Amino acid sequence: MVPNEAHQHKGVVRLLQHFRWIWIGLLAVDDDKGDKFLQTVVPILSQNGICSAFIIRIPKRAYVDELIDLFLQQRENYEILMERKANVLFVYGENPSFQVLRVLVFLAPFLELPPLGKVWIITSHWDFASLSVQKIWDIQTFHGSISFTVHSKQPLGFQKFIQMVHNSLKHILFNNSAGDTVHFDDNGELIAGFDVTNWVMLPNGSVVRVTVGKLEPQAPPGKELSINDHQIVWHKSFNQDKFPGTYNLNNPLVADQMGSIYISLMFIISFGSVQVLPLSVCNDNCYPGYSRKKNEGEKFCCYDCAPCPKGMISDYKDMDACANCPEDRYPNKEQTLCIPRVETFLSYKEELGAILATLAFSFSFLTTLVLGIFMKHKDSAIVKANNQTLTYILLVSLLLSFLCSFLFIGQPGKVICLFQQIAFGIIFSVALSSILAKTITVVLAFIATKPGGRMRKWVGKKLTNSIVFSCSFIQAGLCTFWLSTSPPFPDRDMHSVNGEIILECNEGSATMFYCVLGYMGFLAIVSFIVAFLARKLPDSFNEAKFITFSMLVFCSVWLSFVPTYLSTKGKYMVAVEIFSILSSSAGLLVCIFLPKCFIILLKPEMNNKEQIMTRKGEQI
């Protein structure tokens, strides 16, 4: 009596999974038992991710006079067995079927067919005993075979005795001589463990059974099979270059059965080579960085390997699909590992941040110097002729514009993000409003000097102050609405730049951000148009032509800002905005105030009332 075959089938599945053999050949005796075997095993294999490359039916028996006919009939099957990728054959049958296989293997060389070099997995029904006529035949084809045999040392005739005892066996429980508990299930079938046996075919024709593991059907799922890979002898076709003595000769189980000295000598002489684990797969593994892609019309064990899409990884072999990295990590170059992202922001410590900070400080200092010059020479003709109040407002707003650049450098915080764009928008609006007030004042002043002009009452501080206040108030209203609806906030951008977590200020509402920019653009365009029209008016120290050029620079900077800002990411986006703030503010400072400072400091003879009257008369 042998244990339930279902336990052996489970053991074979565990064995195949252990060695990752998923593309195997099935051989079954051509009778009802073989049919039942295939009907049972094929679904089990499929459920466990194993495919059958082919199925061959073995004749149940054959006689000597039928050998040649049998071989000719089975030659096609023999060629199928040579299939290169299926290196493992799972065989079901009894001794007569084994003898048929021996005949096929024996006759193959006579028709110049290559020998078989496979791993044979056989059931406990098999025995490698040879018929008398076969004792001189080479049996090396089956060298390295693996089978499951009942783990016991039962007395001779015990199984026959058990068969005569009454389906009451299920109440019997005892220990056999191997120390295992033996009992029977409800069907009277023996429940016992198996030895995993490795069959070693020595050159002298003798056969050695080496126990290399155990199968315990009653063990927890996944732990039924225990096996020592290093004790297994594979067929010599899986050996690499000959290198005597590298095989494990200290196998105690082999030494116990045959004598350690004899076995050592035989292994060195016959199998002294590096053992390579046999592969039995439909195709090469998909290594990390790739995932399996199903081949249409092929069995599920056959697949192609597709590279992981950008931003995804696979860190194990034969993954069905690539996986996304966590948000705080990103794939390495090979897409096999998720690497922590680095937090980045525009810092004072890096070269770009240090350069921008230096420029902002330098322009701030220059603006302060200009403001000091104008305050020191406040009673001079050139300062009085250009509306002192508007000049001071413009210079202070330019100074604040340069200083607000520092809000964009360094790690963003909640308060910093609230003030960044708001301060920038309002300060620039004050500066542009001051310039607009200057240009309108020039136009109105010229109109007021005409005889009978009625615009004289509009010229004065009230007009300029109302222009600056009203234009700035509109921008302040936009910013207030922005803060109350969707204010800027600190954010972490993990997707724009590979490998980086960008610490930035999120605008909150991109619409409001571009509304603020658009309003500044509107003020700049109006100032440019008015200044352009008033550039040739004969007023003393007419600033219109300088304002025209400064507005041209200002508009050019901010028109180029928008596409550049949208095409950059991370800290470079911030750097673009800082550069635009600095360059546009510097353009206003240089174009409007450099000529005045030149006259005040280097041409003092031109900074007097007589020169003003002369120039005015010449222009008239």
pLDDT (tens digit per residue) in 512-523:
988 998 998 899
**Residue 331 backbone dihedrals phi, psi, to 5 degrees:** -70, 145
Q: Reduced to 3 DSSP states, what percent helix, strand and coil does the chain have, rounded to the nearest 5?
A: 50, 15, 35
Is the per-residue pLDDT at 354 higher than 90?
yes
- Report the pLDDT value the prediction gives residue 579, as an integer from 0 to 100: 93
Quote the percentage of the chain above a pLDDT of 90.
24
Q: 337: how many CB neighbours lie within 10 A of its CB?
A: 15
Q: Tens of pLDDT along 373-420?
A: 999 988 887 777 767 888 899 999 999 999 999 999 999 989 999 888
Supply the pLDDT for residue 264.
Answer: 42
Sort 383 into a burial class: Cβ within 10 Å, 0-12 / 13-18 / 19+: buried
The lowest-confidence range among 104-118, 165-179, 355-369, 595-609 is 165-179
Q: Helix, strand, or coil here: 297? A: coil
Query: Does position 548 have pLDDT exceeding 90, yes or no?
Result: no
Residues 492/502, Cβ–Cβ less than 8 Å = yes
DSSP class of 316: S
- Would you place residue 611 in the very low, low, confident or very high pLDDT band (cuts 50, 70, 90)? low
CA distances in angstroms from 262 to 207, 230, 249, 416, listed in the order given? 14, 20, 11, 84
- How large a percentage of the chain has pLDDT more than 70? 74
Residue corresponding to tokens 């109105």: 444
Of 589, 598, 595, 551, nearest to 371 by C-alpha is 589
Among 137-146, 270-279, 566-575, top mean pLDDT goes to 566-575
Where residue 181 falls among pLDDT bands split at 50, 70, 90?
A: low
Q: Whole-prediction pTM value?
A: 0.59
pLDDT value, residue 274: 56
Query: Domains, the chain, ranges and CATH?
Result: 5-151+193-236 (3.40.50.2300), 290-340 (no CATH), 351-619 (1.20.1070.10)
Helices assigned H by DSSP within 272-384? 351-376, 381-384
Task: Report the distance separating Cα 348 and Cα 488, nearest Å.
Answer: 22
DSSP sequence for 96-124: HHHHHHHHHHHHGGGGTPPPP--EEEE-T
How high is the pLDDT of residue 474? 94
How many Å apart are CA 431 and CA 475, to the nearest integer? 12
Query: Which pLDDT does position 466 carry in this prediction?
Result: 87
Closest CA to 29 of 149, 122, 132: 122
Handedness of CA 159, 165, 168, 173 (dihedral sign): negative
Query: Two tokens at 548?
Result: 């025209």
21 pLDDT band (50/70/90 cuts)?
A: very high
pLDDT, average across residues 187-201: 75
Angle at 528 between CA 525 and CA 534, to 5 degrees: 145
SS3 182: strand
Point out the least confidently predicted range of 39-53, 161-175, 465-479, 570-584: 161-175
Tell me what the mean pLDDT of segment 142-151 comes to.
82
Identify the weakest region by mean pLDDT among 7-21, 112-126, 232-246.
232-246
CA dihedral sign, ordered 140, 146, 151, 154: negative
Q: Which of 460-469, 574-583, 607-616 has the lowest mean pLDDT?
A: 607-616
| Per-residue confidence (pLDDT) for residue 128, from 0 to 100 | 67
Q: Confidence band (pLDDT; 50, 70, 90) for 620?
A: very low
49 vs 238, higher pLDDT: 49
Kindly state the tokens that stand for 313: 């990884």
With a CB cutoff of 8 Å and minimum separation 6, the contacts of 31 are 60
479: Cβ–Cβ under 8 A, 6 or more apart, which residues?
421, 422, 425, 426, 516
